[in-house]
């Protein structure tokens, strides 16, 4: 009996960690990975850090939400899946149009002038503030609800009944959609970059711009394809994040730090590094801010439970975790886990 209780307590502790760390970490890591991939594409090809990427994600999510509301008003949906998935292609097209227009109206001028990277960075901050104001003017600063369909793939109560444990494990539909979408998109992106002629041209341009030009690669076409991919990734990442955590324009401004931390930790300019960095940052934030009180209660003998939350940092300091990891990586290995190009 004592052995069974120890095993059950251990499984309850695992269920707690799974419910509050593992499942949310995989979903959040997928969202950061998609965001970091967009930043990585711009840096690898265009050689500058796009600080407006968070607001670009917000713009894509905003357009998707507006179209979702129209579809919902007309009774059009996807059954158990969010209606936003139907609206997402329009959000992607709008975000691609925004990215291409921004490049033509803003970045192209500095590209022709051979501006230094810091100039691009400052310009991208200006674009960030412009988009921030535009988004708040169109949709407002408040939380917007657009998720519908079946909310959970698995409910905590169903898990408890199935396993007989005291602790439940819930998986939201938005989390499942996020993970599956991320896997498909990453697979398609790597296939495009490694198997298609255009993708190989982009890689060649990224590796050696002068040699690529001598080989007959059209730089404007490479730039256009880069912005198309970046816009699509931004719209998808922004919408998936909004579905999972709710849409509020201000939160996307705060996503800039964890997204850039993901890209730098993994290796700036390296798509594989962006994915790895996204999960490193996501799990670090959750593990450091998770309250282990009940886990410790299950794993310690007897009925002893600690008085405090047994939490390394409050959830208010999530961004501080990203910043701390970023600083440590820049001090120890500035090129990142996969040795990308340094800023």
| CA 49 distance to own-chain centroid | 16
CATH number assigned to the domain comprising residue 80: 1.10.3470
Q: Give the pLDDT confidence score for residue 183 in this predicted structure.
A: 95
220 lies in some domain: yes
Q: Give the pLDDT confidence score for residue 342 in this predicted structure.
A: 41
Q: Which residue range forms the structural domain that includes residue 110?
A: 2-332
6 lies in some domain: yes
342 lies in some domain: no
Count of domains in the chain?
1
340 lies in some domain: no
pTM of the model: 0.93
Task: Report residue 175: phi and psi, to 5°.
Answer: -70, -45
341 lies in some domain: no
Q: Give the pLDDT confidence score for residue 172 in this predicted structure.
A: 94
Q: Give the pLDDT confidence score for residue 340 in this predicted structure.
A: 53
337 lies in some domain: no
155 lies in some domain: yes
Q: Give the pLDDT confidence score for residue 159 in this predicted structure.
A: 94
Q: What is the chain's pLDDT, residue by residue, as a tens digit (343 residues)?
A: 556 778 898 999 999 999 999 999 999 999 999 999 999 999 988 888 899 999 999 999 999 999 999 999 999 988 899 999 999 999 999 999 999 999 999 999 998 888 888 899 999 999 999 999 999 999 998 888 888 888 899 999 999 999 999 999 999 999 999 999 999 999 999 999 999 999 999 988 888 888 888 888 898 999 999 999 999 999 999 999 999 998 998 889 889 999 999 999 988 888 889 999 999 999 999 999 999 988 988 888 766 677 778 888 888 888 889 989 988 988 888 888 876 554 3
343 lies in some domain: no
């Amino acid at each position: 009996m004592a052995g069974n209780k120890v095993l059950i307590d251990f499984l309850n502790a695992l269920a707690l960690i799974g419910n509050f760390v593992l499942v949310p970490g995989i979903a959040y890591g997928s969202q950061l990975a998609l965001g970091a991939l967009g930043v990585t594409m711009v840096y690898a090809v265009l050689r500058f850090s796009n600080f407006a990427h968070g607001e670009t994600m917000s713009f894509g999510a905003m357009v998707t939400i507006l179209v979702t509301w129209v579809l919902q008003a007309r009774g059009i949906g996807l059954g158990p899946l969010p209606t936003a998935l139907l609206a997402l292609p329009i959000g992607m097209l709008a975000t691609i149009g925004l990215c291409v227009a921004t490049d033509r109206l803003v970045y192209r001028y500095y590209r022709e002038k051979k501006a230094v990277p810091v100039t691009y960075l400052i310009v991208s901050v200006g674009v960030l503030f412009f988009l921030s104001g535009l988004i708040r003017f169109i949709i407002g600063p408040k939380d917007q609800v657009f998720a519908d369909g079946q909310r959970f793939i698995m409910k905590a109560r169903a898990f408890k009944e199935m396993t007989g444990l005291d602790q439940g494990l819930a998986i939201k539909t938005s989390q499942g959609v996020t993970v599956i979408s991320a896997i498909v998109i990453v697979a398609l992106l790597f296939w495009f970059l490694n198997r298609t002629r255009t993708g190989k041209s982009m890689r060649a341009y990224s590796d050696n711009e002068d040699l690529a030009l001598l080989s007959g690669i059209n730089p404007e076409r490479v730039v256009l394809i880069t912005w198309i991919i970046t816009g699509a990734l931004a719209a998808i990442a922004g919408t998936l994040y909004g579905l999972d955590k709710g849409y509020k324009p201000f939160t996307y401004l705060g996503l800039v730090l964890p997204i850039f931390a993901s890209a730098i930790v993994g290796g700036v300019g390296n798509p594989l590094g962006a994915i790895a960095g996204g999960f490193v940052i996501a799990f670090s934030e959750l593990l450091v801010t998770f309250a282990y009180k009940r886990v410790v209660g299950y794993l310690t003998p007897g009925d002893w439970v600690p008085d405090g939350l047994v939490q390394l940092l409050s959830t208010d300091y999530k961004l501080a975790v990203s910043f701390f990891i970023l600083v440590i990586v820049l001090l120890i290995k500035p090129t990142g886990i996969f040795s990308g190009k340094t800023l």
